[in-house]
Chains A and B, each alone.
Chain A
């Protein structure tokens, strides 16, 4: 009798505990998708964040007017149609009928206007659209479904660069007006996307629920809405080996944050599907131009010649990445193949010769010296992303070979970028991801983006001007020419040294269906991630 009571109490306790840990409850598994997230977002505010993981997660909740298909063609999302003026200074966009926010309110042109006003005011990524750079000087809303953007200068890239970008995810005007800006994307987020933001437990998980009224998925998605899974749980697993173990154990349904070392292990697991795709994500090295020793072009070229990208791809990326010659990858729109001819080849002898020409002589310890000063630099990179920490060590060893004493200082991603912005580094190994060349290169190299995203702190008027032409010339050829020239200047300057281009990786349980739909699209867009996946 006594043990029966004990059993009853035990069962009762387990039953009581079940709702407290939804991600482990078997009963809900059929309608819940658990996605492993290798890095916790800083916030889910479309207009404030610049972090990749934030963008990925918030894309399930907030949607821009347009999106891109697999050929990088702009296709309507919230928009139904658009119309350009001949001078590319006026763009009229008509919204689809029957669009709703998660709070039930219909989407109107006033919401679009309020969102873009917020975008050009608060987003660090909106430089192309700001009035100061000839961006949005006015927005008219003749009726609830029509919005007319008026630009100060021709903005031929507006649709592909900004209006298709999740950073312009449309939020309700009333929500923007009534919510403190710092709370948006942290305590609350209201959008039109296939999933509703429910809860964020910092350091643990982000929970979303299906938006049942969702019907406006992009044309390339076989399922236009609503999504198949009732619940979506993003579990934050910042530690690589833990993520691999969680996927192998089946505690995570899928993740896009597999590391190369995990990939080899998961490939051998019969319960796990692994996929690879080209990616826009690049790993690059940047020199802090405020340091006197980097002022010499010869020194910078010598450094570029000292770096063996092939070795980094093999050792740091375990063969998953590919050596990168330009600052954008082949997958990015606007990539100019001849840039390969301008990249500095790995050549230690040439590097030594250039250092000598610049007045640096090796001291008794093998370290270069000039005017009594040892060539010592601090290299900052990410501690919690293996491929970056290892790349830092490989670069350190390669620079040591030519006589530079490199001290590697690793920090968590956010802290590393804080140091990059504060300028407390000499050499940085960082990353970036974008599908479109002009805004990406503008972000990394234009002088107005010092120190937010141009960590080199190098202002080059010629480069600035070309970047602006590449973004504003009405003539397609003129824009392309300018962007090609930009790529050449960047590589030749050796202020930035492109290292390795990434590969997108995915690991999923065999029971997750719809992966072939995802694979049909070269870069696995957020809408397919949200709408195409099912439980087999």
Chain B
């Protein structure tokens, strides 16, 4: 028999989730975006790159839910297909950042000494350059295009990952089980790979959900500046850029992709905040 004031696990979980209802909203938004990306082919009523010369700049209505752009393309379909590019960019960028950041951060902390000093000064130097400027410079050198843009943002954004991982590894490195592993003769690679990193990954997962919206915003900025996706890719930043010449006469061209970016970024932010609150004991409120 359980004491009356202790809730059942199911109720407890529900209560816990209710405390983090913003996280639920976030999860829901992310789910909607992911579903849109998966089912774009079924959801979009039109081909996102098909032109309709007889329906240029049609206002939102029954035929075109979000209206059409200056080339007669259905904006709703473009926004729906845009989710694919948004998620692709987000995942790919965060993956690149995480791989570089984790490798460098973990090595710096684990080996310490001059390796730590060297790698962390590199991070300091990178952090001294404004992110967008650095990404712009790299994208400018690599040339436009979706792949190059992802690479440019990835190469720019690993700095925070490296710092985060370094902090985690520094703590775990001195724990008893690591010492035990070392005592039984495990090599550096094994200790790092089997004992330290798995224990540091929780934080990384949280940070990943928070880094995703940042990556999306950077991608939208680069595309807006013409260094990202090439036409006619239905990438949201590029769509905003294409519509900005018509803001005065056709507000819907830029507005809907803008709302799409906002929704997705908000979703990931809510989700990430919630996850952090739930998983990080230091910020956890009494549960």
Contacts and interface: CB of A to CB of B under 8 A. Distances in A.
B231 interface: yes
A464 interface: no
| Residue among A392, A393, A409 with the highest chain B CB neighbour number at 10 A | A393
B49 interface: yes
Nearest to B250: A261
A241 B247 contact: yes
B56 A314 contact: yes
A407 interface: yes
B71 interface: yes
A389 B231 contact: yes
Interface residues of A, number: 29
B245 A394 contact: no
A383 interface: yes
B244 interface: yes
Given A315-B71, A408-B230, A261 B246 contact: yes
Given A241-B244, A397-B232, A384 B51 contact: no
B49 A397 contact: yes
Contact of A394 (B71, B230, B244): B71
A386 B245 contact: yes
B71 A393 contact: yes
Contacts of A261: 70, 245-246, 249
A394 B53 CA distance: 9
A393 B48 CA distance: 13
Contacts of B248: 244, 265
Given A241-B244, A315-B70, A384-B226, A408 B51 contact: no
A461 to B, nearest CB: 37
B231 A259 contact: no
A318 B244 CA distance: 15
Contacts of A383: 144, 226
A399 to B, nearest CB: 12
A131 interface: no
A409 B249 contact: no
B50 interface: yes
A262 B51 contact: no
Contacts of A308: 53
A396 interface: yes
A490 B145 CA distance: 34
Interface string B59-72: 00000000000111
Contacts of A394: 51, 71
Interface string B77-88: 000000000000
A244 B230 contact: no
A390 B70 contact: yes
6 shortest A-B CB distances, which residue pairs?
A261-B245, A265-B248, A311-B53, A397-B51, A241-B245, A241-B244
Interface of A: 240-241, 244, 259, 261-262, 264-265, 308, 311, 314-316, 318, 383-384, 386, 389-390, 392-394, 396-397, 407-411
23 contacts: A240-B245, A259-B245, A261-B249, A265-B248, A265-B249, A308-B53, A311-B51, A315-B53, A315-B71, A318-B70, A383-B144, A384-B226, A390-B71, A394-B51, A396-B231, A396-B232, A397-B49, A408-B232, A409-B145, A409-B230, A410-B144, A410-B230, A410-B231
Given A265-B249, A315-B72, 13 more contacts: A241-B247, A244-B245, A261-B70, A261-B246, A265-B248, A315-B71, A318-B56, A383-B226, A389-B231, A393-B232, A407-B230, A409-B230, A410-B230
